[in-house]
Every structure is written in C-alpha cells, then in structure tokens.
Amino acid sequence: MDKDEVTEQELLDEVMEWLITPGLRQLKKKRHRPPFDENEVAIMIRNLAALGWIKVKPSESISAKVEDELYV
C-alpha cells in the first residue's frame, strides 16, 4: 500500500476522532449538535472519493455502512 494513500476506514476513524476530541477550536466554537452520524460521514467519504476530491483505498467496512444506508 502506498504510504500516501489511506483506506476509507482509516480516514473515517480519523475524522470521527477529530469531530469528538475537544481542542482549542472548541473554545471559540460549539460542538456540532446533533453529533455527526458515522454512517453519514462514511457515505460522504465514499462520495468525495467518487468525485475524485480525495484519494483513498476502498474498505469493506465502509461498503457495508453505505449499503446499510441504501437499503433503509
């Protein structure tokens, strides 16, 4: 695997961690309410990859999350 290319799951994990970890930005900004849904973030990652805006390797776990949302 190319070191510059992460998997969708790795990106999802990092984004979700960034969204919930308190930091200096929260001194000025409220936390997002309601909190972001992990499945919605996974779908957005997949959409951005499909548009060519980000380069990530597909993950089976993301595929399952996207499929779950499609069949609801």
With 70 as the cut, is the pLDDT of residue 3 above it? no
CB 31 within 8 A of CB 18: no
With 80 as the cut, is the pLDDT of residue 7 above it? yes
Q: pLDDT value at position 1?
A: 47
Where along the chain do its domains lie? 6-70
With 80 as the cut, is the pLDDT of residue 16 above it? yes
Mean pLDDT value of segment 5-26 = 81
The pTM for the full model equals 0.71
pLDDT per position as a tens digit, 19-52: 777 665 555 455 556 678 888 899 999 999 999 9
- Which residues, 6+ apart, have CB-to-CB distance to 1 below 8 Å? 57
CB 41 within 8 A of CB 71: no
